[in-house]
């Protein structure tokens, strides 16, 4: 058996977040509060989950950090990019996810997290209108975006004295970008498209990923964007020996769906249809209210059942079910998302039954611990010398990348 040598988690870990909205500020505030002992990082598996070690009748369970060298919360340093200039404290207050008495104790630290100018193309997120963008009124070319982002990463690492960094996408969902063989299949073609300023095929998120990997930073895609789920980025990850993970945080409705669908499959019950709908009122919901952006999310959410209830293995049960997903922008709910699922199943002799699930959740409260786990675990992967797509992180993601290791 091959022995894996894992470098120790010495020094500061920079977490550079693309986005300074509800998810990002909830994540940052929670970490800062937790390390002061003012709250608990509930929901984070790296902080709570235990794994059985040893063999035989002796049952010993240890936390992850007692088995592998995970970075400490005390060693995390945050930075971010965003199209809006407000600092992390202002953004956290604006998001209204957390109560002021859960934000104010770390106000000074949050106020020091001022977003760098974002590499942004309004065509990819039409509902966002911030002016804290690179180039001001003149959009840089895609290659210029890459160079600017690389400089941001280098400057952040130097100013914050970080030993290493992880780049996490917690920004809005971009419009759907289909994979193009002429652009996305090789690294040479991708770089040529960036240098040619091919705005149709090169999303801004690809510039962030390229910059991160070339600067020696693992990259996590928390939205359903196809950013690193293309052969060209797999090639870059291999070239730079950097780990990547994605895509789309699995938090609310899809978390429930991925937990409940196996019950249907395990009991060999038939599925006739699964209708899922949500209401969401935060900035994410605003962006997803545009059909082109929702299409990216829809592809991600629809893939969940296909990977669990396999028609090729059980054609009698799962070859002809109807699956529909909808997200509705509803401002009064803000970050307090509500989802409804209607599941039409069939049992013995084909007799129909129904299951109804109503989940009243908090979008960013569920996403924040996933952000922490992904950042700490992909940092561990990098120190263990792992690179390319990290399939072991699939548990945290709606549409996990798995075709390459």
* pLDDT tens digits, one per residue of 105-160: 999 999 999 999 999 999 999 999 999 999 999 999 999 999 999 999 999 999 99
Q: Any idea what the CATH number is for the domain that residue 146 is in?
A: 3.40.50.720
Rounded distance between C-alpha atoms, residue 9 and residue 184, angstroms = 34
Residue 405 is predicted with a pLDDT of 39
Residue 85 inside a domain? The answer is yes
Closest to 229 in 3D by CA, of 82, 398, 86 = 398
Average pLDDT value for the chain: 94
Residue 64 inside a domain? The answer is yes
Do 214 and 90 fall within a single domain?
yes
pLDDT above 60: residue 404? no
Q: Which three-class secondary structure state does DSSP give residue 57?
A: coil
State pLDDT tens for residues 337-379. Answer: 999 999 999 999 999 999 999 999 999 999 999 999 999 999 9
Do 171 and 281 fall within a single domain?
no
Do 116 and 168 fall within a single domain?
yes
CA 346, 347, 353, 359 torsion: positive or negative? negative
State pLDDT tens for residues 178-208. Answer: 999 999 999 999 999 999 999 999 999 999 9
Residue 1 is predicted with a pLDDT of 45
Report H helices in 223-352: 231-240, 253-266, 283-288, 291-308, 315-318
Residue 7 inside a domain? The answer is no
Residue 62 inside a domain? The answer is yes
- The conformational region for residue 249 under phi > 0 = left, psi -120 to 50 = alpha, else beta, is beta
Residue 6 inside a domain? The answer is no
Residue 180 inside a domain? The answer is yes
Q: Any idea what the CATH number is for the domain that residue 261 is in?
A: 3.30.360.10
Give the structural domain span for 131: 12-249+365-396
The single-letter DSSP state of residue 335 is: T
Contact 212, 153 (CB under 8 A): yes
Rounded distance between C-alpha atoms, residue 180 and residue 98, angstroms = 41
Our count of domains for the chain comes to: 2
Q: b/e string for 257-285 if b means 16 or more Cβ within 10 A?
A: bbeebeebbeeebbbbebebebbbbbbbb
Regarding predicted confidence, which is higher, 143 or 57?
143
Taking the CA of residue 266 as centre, how many other CA atoms within 13 Å lie in the half-sphere pointing to its CB?
Answer: 6
Residue 115 inside a domain? The answer is yes
Do 131 and 102 fall within a single domain?
yes
Contacts of 11 (CB under 8 A, 6+ apart): 75, 161, 162, 163, 164
Do 236 and 260 fall within a single domain?
no
Do 376 and 327 fall within a single domain?
no
Do 354 and 373 fall within a single domain?
no
Contact 299, 399 (CB under 8 A): yes
Do 120 and 200 fall within a single domain?
yes
Residue 292 inside a domain? The answer is yes
Do 114 and 260 fall within a single domain?
no
Contact 24, 5 (CB under 8 A): no
As a whole-number percent, the residues of the chain with pLDDT over 70 amount to: 98
Element (H or E) spanning 329, and its range? strand 322-329
Do 301 and 176 fall within a single domain?
no
State pLDDT tens for residues 235-281. Answer: 999 999 999 999 999 998 889 999 999 999 999 999 999 999 999 99
pLDDT band at 298 (very low <50, low <70, confident <90, very high): confident
Do 243 and 213 fall within a single domain?
yes
pLDDT above 70: residue 101? yes
Contacts of 121 (CB under 8 A, 6+ apart): 139, 199, 203, 204
Do 91 and 217 fall within a single domain?
yes
């Amino acid at each position: 058996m091959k022995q894996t040598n894992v470098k120790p988690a010495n020094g500061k870990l920079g977490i550079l977040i693309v986005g300074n909205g509800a998810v990002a500020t909830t994540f940052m505030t929670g970490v800062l509060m937790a390390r002061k002992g003012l709250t608990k990082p509930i929901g984070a598996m790296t902080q709570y989950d235990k794994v059985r070690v040893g063999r035989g009748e002796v049952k010993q369970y240890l936390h992850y950090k007692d088995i592998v060298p995970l970075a400490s919360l005390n060693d995390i340093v945050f930075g971010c990019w965003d199209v809006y200039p407000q600092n992390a404290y202002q953004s956290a207050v604006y998001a209204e996810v957390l109560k002021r008495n859960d934000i104010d104790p770390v106000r000074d630290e949050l106020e020091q997290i001022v977003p760098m100018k974002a590499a942004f193309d309004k065509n990819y997120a039409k509902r966002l209108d911030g002016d804290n963008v690179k180039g001001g009124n003149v959009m840089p070319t895609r290659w210029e975006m890459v160079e600017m982002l690389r400089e941001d990463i280098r400057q952040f690492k130097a100013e914050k004295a970080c030993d290493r960094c992880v780049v996490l996408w917690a920004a809005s969902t971009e419009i759907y970008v289909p994979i193009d063989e002429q652009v996305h299949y090789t690294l040479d073609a991708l770089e040529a498209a960036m240098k040619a300023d091919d705005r149709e095929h090169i999303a801004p998120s690809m510039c962030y990923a390229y910059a991160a990997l070339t600067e020696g930073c693992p990259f996590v895609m928390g939205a359903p964007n196809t950013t690193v789920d293309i052969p060209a980025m797999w090639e870059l990850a291999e070239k730079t020996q950097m780990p990547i993970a994605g895509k789309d945080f699995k938090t609310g409705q899809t978390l429930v769906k991925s937990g409940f669908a196996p019950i249907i499959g395990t009991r060999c019950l038939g599925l006739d249809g699964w209708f899922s709908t949500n209401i969401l009122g935060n900035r994410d919901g605003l962006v997803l209210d545009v059909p082109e952006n929702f299409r990216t999310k829809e592809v991600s959410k629809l893939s969940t059942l296909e990977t669990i209830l396999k028609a090729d293995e059980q054609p009698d049960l799962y070859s002809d079910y109807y699956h529909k997903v909808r997200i509705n922008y509803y401002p009064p709910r803000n970050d307090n998302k509500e989802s409804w699922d209607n599941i039409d199943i069939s049992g013995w002799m084909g007799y129909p039954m129904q299951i109804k699930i109503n989940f009243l959740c908090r979008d960013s409260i569920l996403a924040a611990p996933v952000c922490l786990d992904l950042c700490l675990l992909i940092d561990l992967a990098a120190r263990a010398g792992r690179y390319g797509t990290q399939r072991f992180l699939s548990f945290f993601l709606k549409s996990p990348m798995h075709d390459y290791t």
